[in-house]
Amino acid sequence: MSQKIAFITGGNRGLGFQTALDLKNSDTKIVIGSRDLAQGEQAVEKLRAAGVDADVLQFDITKPADYKAAYDYFNSKYGRLDILVNNAGIAAGKFPGTGPEHSAAEVPTDLLHKVFETNFFAQVALTDALLPLLKKSPAGRIVNLSSILGSLTLHADPKSPIYHAKSFAYDASKTALNAFTVHLAYELRDTKIKVNSAHPGWVKTDMGGESAPMELSEGGKTSAALATLPDDGPSGGYFHLGQPLPW
């Protein structure tokens, strides 16, 4: 088949934008989702100037009407979707931090709901809404932007580098997203669709902050690689730069 069709949510800045750049040479039409259309259009201009075949769709992952709009957009224009990068996400506060949003004992319930709404419930709802189009792809790929902070194994290990990096609302939402990866990959095991969780690294973005060790130019690599996995690539995994992470 000809050019692949990809949808990257939250593609107007940060890792979503970088992932679009990194898919430049993959013969893919990249549609970035952007809550703010003007910001999305500016991002598309930059992507096109860099040689990426890009378009923008106004898209807020917390608005259920936008799932149908996204389905209709891809269905009417292309009749399928090859790549879905579930990149849009929110933090519950600054990293690293000590506020109640980081504490399992003190987290405000409304904040927990808000973070889960964006980072988990909405990701599941969007993916499920677009699955009929991904099933029409000869090689569907779903990339869930998790984080190493979603790893229960590493959080429980006093020797792990993230043992003291706890941010309860965010971390738990990414753990839940990882559960979605495992369950959906199981359900799709007899299809051509691969579903994986990505940890991009701790990256200098608005979310990652200035103390992050990884430059943005490196941060899209894990998502881009999982979005373009070959047919014999893994599904139901959790990866950082090609290396598996413990759940």
Ligand X SMILES: NC(=O)c1ccc[n+]([C@@H]2O[C@H](COP(=O)([O-])OP(=O)(O)OC[C@H]3O[C@@H](n4cnc5c(N)ncnc54)[C@H](OP(=O)(O)O)[C@@H]3O)[C@@H](O)[C@H]2O)c1
At its nearest, how many Å lie between ligand X and the CB of residue 136?
24
Alpha carbons 147 and 89: distance in angstroms, whole number: 11
Nearer of residues 69 and 139 to ligand X, judged by Cβ: 69
Q: Which stretch binds ligand X (CB under 6 A): 14-22, 46-54, 108-116, 231-239?
A: 14-22
**Residue 153: exposure state from Cβ atoms within 10 A (0-12, 13-18, ≥19):** exposed
Alpha carbons 243 and 11: distance in angstroms, whole number: 24
145 binds ligand X (CB under 6 A): yes
Which of 4, 5, 7, 9 touches ligand X (CB under 6 A)?
9
At its nearest, how many Å lie between ligand X and the CB of residue 227?
14
Nearby residues of 40 by Cβ (< 8 Å), 6 or more positions away: 11, 12, 32, 33, 34, 56, 57, 58
Question: Looking at this protein, which amino acid is placed at residue 206?
Answer: D
Which of 6, 14, 74, 184 touches ligand X (CB under 6 A)?
14
Alpha carbons 14 and 216: distance in angstroms, whole number: 7
Q: Which stretch binds ligand X (CB under 6 A): 134-142, 159-167, 194-202, 233-241?
A: 194-202
Which of 87, 127, 167, 181 touches ligand X (CB under 6 A)?
87
Element (H, E) at 4: strand 4-8
At its nearest, how many Å lie between ligand X and the CB of residue 232?
27
At its nearest, how many Å lie between ligand X and the CB of residue 192?
25
